[in-house]
Amino acid sequence: MDKPKIAATEPKAVELEEGKKYAFCTCGLSDTQPFCNGAHKGTDFVPHVFTAEETKTAYLCQCKQTNNTPFCDGSHSQIGKPKIG
């Protein structure tokens, strides 16, 4: 497995708590998206651990194509479209 699985083609809204650590799933195999549940074991993927900077609703990436991990950057809208350039 060299590319992450696309868990969903839309972000997941989650309530983050300031100062709390989260393990974001980067492989796409977790059943508890967008967070890691250990399903990456046996792959080269590891979770992206981050600390929430503020308490807020955040939209976390589930397509695993974002360039702003763990947050959605809209990349899911390009899935399946031909790359230009």
Shortest Å distance, C-beta 69 to ligand FES: 11
Site of interaction with ligand FES (CB under 6 A) = 25-27, 29-30, 36-40, 45, 47
Residue with tokens 């807020």: 56
Shortest Å distance, C-beta 82 to ligand FES: 28
Type of residue at 43:
T
User: Which CB sits closer to ligand FES, 20 or 54?
Assistant: 20
Shortest Å distance, C-beta 42 to ligand FES: 11
Provide the token pair at 38.
């250990």
Nearest alpha-carbon partner for 75 in 67, 20, 83: 67
User: Which CB sits closer to ligand FES, 31 or 54?
Assistant: 31
User: Which CB sits closer to ligand FES, 41 or 81?
Assistant: 41
Length of the chain: 85
State the Cα–Cα distance between residues 47 and 27, nearest whole angstrom: 8
